[in-house]
Structure 1
Amino acid sequence: MTHSPSAPSPTSHAPHPFAIPLRIAGLTEYAESGCAVPVPGRSQLLIVWGGKGNVHLYEQPHPAARGFALLGRSSSQAIGLNPADSLQGVHIEFAHYPLGSAADQEFDPEFEKLSPCSTVCMRLAAELYAAWKEQPSEAEPYRAQLLFSRLMSELHQELATARDASDDWLSQAVQFIEANYNEDLTREQLAERANVSPEHFSRAFRKHTGRTFIDYLTMLRIRNAQSRILVENTAMNALAPQVGFKEGLYLSRKFKDVVGMSPTAFRRKPKRIAALNLNHTGILLALGQTPELGVYTSWLEQNKAHAKPGVSLNPYGHTSSTLYEAVAEANPDMIIHYSTAAENRSLLPLAPVIELPFRTMSWREQLLTIAGMLDKLQEAQQWLARYDEQVDRINRALDERLGRRGTAIVWEIAGDKAYACSGSYGRGAHILYGDLGFRPPERDWLSHGYVETKVEELYSHKADHIFITGTPSCPESRPYLQRLLRSSQWSGLEAVRGKRLHWLHDSILFCGYDPLSTQAQLNLLARRLLPDHKFA
């Protein structure tokens, strides 16, 4: 029997990739088994559908929660889990056919993270795990294989979308909408810009954002309306064209559809607030309001002790998806953060994000801005008046003791480096330079916001007064400081010889750039500069 040249021979490899599941385990079972290194040539897939914890890969922890997925191939690395964590999900070890072929290299690159994966993937993974634990039924003997194939297909589609999302036409469309939400935008206009059909635009946009084009545009407009109502308290007819509506009555109606209440009711209601950085949390506490979600140092935690309880957020311990979940759990009416934060846009579906400038707005201006949004402007002005009275008393005492203030530096030590900050970064410099009349060592020395130098070279930066916020907490950092203190260059500085070297011994306190931290920093600086004064 002969075969035509175009027909594949019975022994030729199929041009399509196939994958076969070999081991499937729940995450608790997988963690308790010791997370064994996979057989060479096999691939791994991990999907989380519940709980929170860390997934370890190449000895690095990756925060994981619902929607976390990891796919890849390594003959030397297991995906590590801590049995004490509460992660719920599945770990799958599988092989491609033909083994070691170019197909498995193309379709399964070395570890790729998808976070979040869709509910479809999580549902298929859960069904596959349940089917794997059961005996195959006579009616559906290939059910596990079918579910695995569907899971892999869906997962690879989502990975392909995620790879292209940062620079494809969808991202450009979203950026255009966000920059021009107050214009008369249509689906057809945006589809034409992207050179796709309106129908394809609608389908792809919804998959990319989770919302229809109209819903997304309306959400942006209403969130911006909420922000302006809070910050500026603009009348509806004046506000409507600023956010993309033709008149105030229609804006009010859409506002109530999205927010669940009228603009007036929203402006007046007590706000549940998520403050996503240390300084804005401190401002709220100074105004007598504990945020539902806030960022705290140990010092700020003490000042929260007598207020109503609020949830503490570690901003460095989250992925974008777990941060979203943490903020969603707080159910905020408004979110406050710095305008430079990359995550602000992704949080807009939850609440309006009030973005305050970083470095260009002083702590006083931030206090008054936030107070105005909460109808607490009088409380903020009274707080500042009391603070300024204290500054005046300290300045009169400094006039008697020092006369002309001279220059000052505040150093913060981290590792083998030391950092001196301008007033816009806080660290007590805003008090020394802004309130107490000291000057930086040189006119343009802090023009970039801070100066970095080696700890052992601090002696090269001379000032009349030198402040060090605290000794390094890390033992590896202390030898650098010890070598500095033993050096003749350091002991020869006029500030050191004249006993104008001030150890503040509270680096955590000096991280704050908020009213409460600032007042405590002022008190400590006064005690160092005026040790024998009655109010120091």
Structure 2
Amino acid sequence: MTLQVFPLISNGDHTRDLYARFKTSEVLDQASFLPPFVLTDSHLLLICTGGEANIRIGHRQNHATLGKMYLILPGTAIEYTPDEIHTLQGLAIYFDLLKPISDINKATSGSTVMEVYQKGLLRSAYADELPHELFQECTRIASQLHECISVPQENRPFRIQTLMHELLAQVYAPPKESTLGDSEHISALDQTLELIELGYAEHLSREVLAGVAGMSVWHYSRVFKNRTGISPMEYVNSIRMDRAKEMLLVPGQTIKHIASQVGFQDEFYFSRKFKKYVGVSPSTYQRQKRSKIAALSFGTTGHLLALQIIPHAALIDNLRDQHRNLFFSNIPYHLGRSKRMNPRIWQTNVELLMQASPDLILCNEYEAHTLKRTLQRIAPTIVIPWKGLSWREHFVQVASIVGQQQDAQQWLEQYDDKVTHAKEQLTHLIGKDTVSIIHIMMGHLLIYGRRNGGAVLYNDLGVSPSHDLLPGQVYRALDEQELPQMVGDRMLLIVDQDSESQQRWHKLQHTQLWQDLMPVQNQQVYLLDEMPWLDYSPYAHDQIIDETIKLFGSTQHINP
């Protein structure tokens, strides 16, 4: 049996016995390649081949442009602010460095040797930004590496390893001893805590954990209890039960399957352990109604409201989210929401969540990428992918989690009836006119596709878009010169209230290009609030239908 667990290490022996485990590579060609804020869980080599963006790596602010390269270590906080006009382009290479435990005999279970690996850090003399003279060669190797995973080859695994190590040979330089302070060293006990959180489904005994820590079983158990207040195996089982609670809330999973996923081969023994830890049996826990749900993604609140569930905690911007203002006073905990979700906002939100003590947290992949481990310590956390699912699929999944599938189905049937009647009215109001959704955000011009308001306007109501974006593309940045080809017959216009957007709007209105646009000439420009049009949830989409009929049935427009 091979157990690969990767607790973070940092010691004076920086590169001996380390080998690279390539994870993935991504071509940077969209403004959203990174969430606005993220804590990396792997090494990231970022190679910029065009465009620009502001990237804060740890405490260092960087302006990423052509020729820049950054080596980012695991656990580093990254704040990413894209330039919507000149989108950052390049390659992102994600990898781990692994190091086997020096004394393999310390990690055994019976007669079976368990080969345990520790995650290593590439401690190079280069701090974040790599020298420009390495750019050409690193770009060549990284491009070959990305191509290698895209085209199947017989020797692909070996080729990937060869290229990965060749790339690291370029970016590594022996570190100066002064860069390795005591604060960067992680204790042996912390390594085992990390091991437990990552490898809870494996066979983890006191002997294995003590071997990883390099201590005797008795000494390790004593140190562990002094630190955590409980024994190592109590801690292991607490992590297993917390993960089981999350799995039990996802429909369609049997108790036997969940037991095996959290390290129990006997479902009856698992059930006894679960009841002792949680207070009720797994089947009873599945049936319990969740009354204190925290919605950590903005759209999830709209799904809950459509099901007539008031979240216990939710992201709220009192100025921007007026389409939900009827419920503000009923939501006990208001979490911060901003177009730039910086670490300070997230830290405050985490503190509020701890005070709220929810019995369930719902989030999407972006919050999970940044905060999942922290959230799991507060309450069972379920991740609902935002990008991979449509709003209808989101809605059905949320309804399944809270046990209101029938309510969701009934809501969707009523919504579809409303869509049918609205489509008939729109045929009389706008005929076959094409319609665009234009947004001025943080000073940039954007056009939206078939997501957000476009999901209702184009997909449900059947309005013809002035320009179809690529599948899955939420929006794309525009140059002003593109507007005549993009805006169509009618334009829905959203202008944010920040100073950059207001200045851009003021200048744009006074250009001849704007005055000559067909919707401006025909007085078919409709100035809208951001919400509900940029929400992606059933509660907002129901409102968008009403607003669409109201807009096109009136004479509301902007004087050119």
TM-score by length of 1: 0.60
Q: Is the 8 A contact 1:236 1:249 kept in 2?
A: no
Look up the equivalent residue of 1:384 and give its one-letter code. Answer: L
Superposed CA deviations along residues 258-290 of structure 1, whole A, max 9, x for unmatched, are 323222332233312111122112221221111
User: 2: distance between equivalents of 1:514 and 1:462?
Assistant: 26
Q: Pick from 422, 426, 450 the counterpart of residue 449 of structure 2.
A: 422
Task: Tell me the CA shift for residue 351 of structure 1.
Answer: 1.5
Do the aligned partners of residues 528 and 301 (structure 1) sit closer, same or farther apart at CA in structure 2, a change above 3 Å counting? closer
Q: Is the 8 A contact 2:363 2:382 kept in 1?
A: yes
Q: Is the 8 A contact 1:411 1:467 kept in 2?
A: yes
User: 2: distance between equivalents of 1:276 and 1:494?
Assistant: 41
The match for 2:334 is: 312
Look up the equivalent residue of 1:521 and give its one-letter code. Answer: I
Q: Is the 8 A contact 1:469 1:507 kept in 2?
A: no
The match for 1:510 is: 533
User: 1: distance between equivalents of 2:214 and 2:503?
Assistant: 62
Look up the equivalent residue of 2:545 and give its one-letter code. Answer: L
The match for 2:547 is: 524
Q: Is the 8 A contact 2:532 2:544 kept in 1?
A: yes
Q: Pick from 476, 491, 495 the counterpart of residue 515 of structure 2.
A: 491
Superposed CA deviations along residues 68-104 of structure 1, whole A, max 9, x for unmatched, are xxxxxxxxxxxxxxxxxxxxxxxxxxxxxxxxxxxxx
Superposed CA deviations along residues 286-314 of structure 1, whole A, max 9, x for unmatched, are 21111211222432542316x85522111
Q: Is the 8 A contact 1:220 1:348 kept in 2?
A: no
Look up the equivalent residue of 1:314 and give its one-letter code. Answer: G
SS at match of 2:302: helix
Task: Tell me the CA shift for residue 393 of structure 1.
Answer: 1.2
Task: Tell me the CA shift for residue 355 of structure 1.
Answer: 0.6
Do the aligned partners of residues 164 and 510 (structure 1) sit closer, same or farther apart at CA in structure 2, a change above 3 Å counting? farther
The match for 2:84 is: none
User: 2: distance between equivalents of 1:477 and 1:422?
Assistant: 20
Q: Is the 8 A contact 1:297 1:508 kept in 2?
A: no
Superposed, which structure 2 residues align to 1:151-170 within 5 Å?
163-164=184-185
User: 1: distance between equivalents of 2:477 and 2:378?
Assistant: 38
Task: Tell me the CA shift for residue 367 of structure 1.
Answer: 1.4
The answer to whether residue 376 in structure 2 is matched with residue 348 in structure 1 is yes
Q: Is the 8 A contact 1:469 1:503 kept in 2?
A: yes
User: 1: distance between equivalents of 2:462 and 2:486?
Assistant: 18
The number of aligned residues is 368
User: 2: distance between equivalents of 1:413 and 1:385?
Assistant: 35
The match for 2:476 is: 451
Task: Tell me the CA shift for residue 429 of structure 1.
Answer: 1.8
Look up the equivalent residue of 1:313 and give its one-letter code. Answer: L
The match for 2:356 is: 330
Superposed, which structure 2 residues align to 1:103-252 within 5 Å?
163-164=184-185, 177-189=196-208, 192=211, 213-252=232-271
The match for 1:288 is: 308
Do the aligned partners of residues 468 and 444 (structure 1) sit closer, same or farther apart at CA in structure 2, a change above 3 Å counting? closer
Task: Tell me the CA shift for residue 176 of structure 1.
Answer: 5.2
Do the aligned partners of residues 324 and 209 (structure 1) sit closer, same or farther apart at CA in structure 2, a change above 3 Å counting? farther
Q: Is the 8 A contact 1:332 1:351 kept in 2?
A: yes
| Stretch deviating more after TM superposition (258-267 or 315-324) | 315-324
Q: Is the 8 A contact 2:313 2:331 kept in 1?
A: no
Look up the equivalent residue of 2:460 and give its one-letter code. Answer: D
Q: Is the 8 A contact 1:440 1:446 kept in 2?
A: no
The percent identity for this pair of structures is 28
User: 1: distance between equivalents of 2:191 and 2:554?
Assistant: 60
| Stretch deviating more after TM superposition (290-299 or 307-316) | 307-316
Look up the equivalent residue of 2:521 and give its one-letter code. Answer: R
Long gaps (5+) in structure 1:
1-57, 59-158
The match for 1:393 is: 421
Look up the equivalent residue of 1:416 and give its one-letter code. Answer: G
Do the aligned partners of residues 523 and 160 (structure 1) sit closer, same or farther apart at CA in structure 2, a change above 3 Å counting? farther
Do the aligned partners of residues 235 and 416 (structure 1) sit closer, same or farther apart at CA in structure 2, a change above 3 Å counting? closer
Q: Is the 8 A contact 1:412 1:419 kept in 2?
A: yes
Q: Pick from 434, 448, 451 the counterpart of residue 459 of structure 2.
A: 434
Do the aligned partners of residues 187 and 469 (structure 1) sit closer, same or farther apart at CA in structure 2, a change above 3 Å counting? farther
User: 2: distance between equivalents of 1:208 and 1:489?
Assistant: 67
Q: Which has the larger radius of gyration?
A: 1
Superposed CA deviations along residues 200-259 of structure 1, whole A, max 9, x for unmatched, are 866787799887543443233223322222222533233311222122222222222332
SS at match of 1:503: strand
Superposed CA deviations along residues 324-347 of structure 1, whole A, max 9, x for unmatched, are 432122221111111221112112
| Stretch deviating more after TM superposition (191-200 or 254-263) | 191-200
The match for 2:107 is: none
SS at match of 2:249: helix
The answer to whether residue 524 in structure 2 is matched with residue 500 in structure 1 is yes
The answer to whether residue 394 in structure 2 is matched with residue 366 in structure 1 is yes
User: 1: distance between equivalents of 2:507 and 2:455?
Assistant: 29
User: 1: distance between equivalents of 2:183 and 2:464?
Assistant: 50
Do the aligned partners of residues 190 and 474 (structure 1) sit closer, same or farther apart at CA in structure 2, a change above 3 Å counting? same
The Cα RMSD (Å) is 3.6
Superposed CA deviations along residues 329-388 of structure 1, whole A, max 9, x for unmatched, are 222111111122111211212211011102111221111111112221111111111111
Do the aligned partners of residues 527 and 206 (structure 1) sit closer, same or farther apart at CA in structure 2, a change above 3 Å counting? farther
Superposed CA deviations along residues 97-129 of structure 1, whole A, max 9, x for unmatched, are xxxxxxxxxxxxxxxxxxxxxxxxxxxxxxxxx
The match for 1:411 is: 438
Q: Is the 8 A contact 1:236 1:248 kept in 2?
A: yes
User: 2: distance between equivalents of 1:208 and 1:361?
Assistant: 42
Do the aligned partners of residues 173 and 358 (structure 1) sit closer, same or farther apart at CA in structure 2, a change above 3 Å counting? farther
Look up the equivalent residue of 1:303 and give its one-letter code. Answer: L
Q: Pick from 503, 506, 509 the counterpart of residue 482 of structure 1.
A: 506
User: 1: distance between equivalents of 2:208 and 2:433?
Assistant: 63
Do the aligned partners of residues 327 and 207 (structure 1) sit closer, same or farther apart at CA in structure 2, a change above 3 Å counting? farther
Do the aligned partners of residues 224 and 448 (structure 1) sit closer, same or farther apart at CA in structure 2, a change above 3 Å counting? same
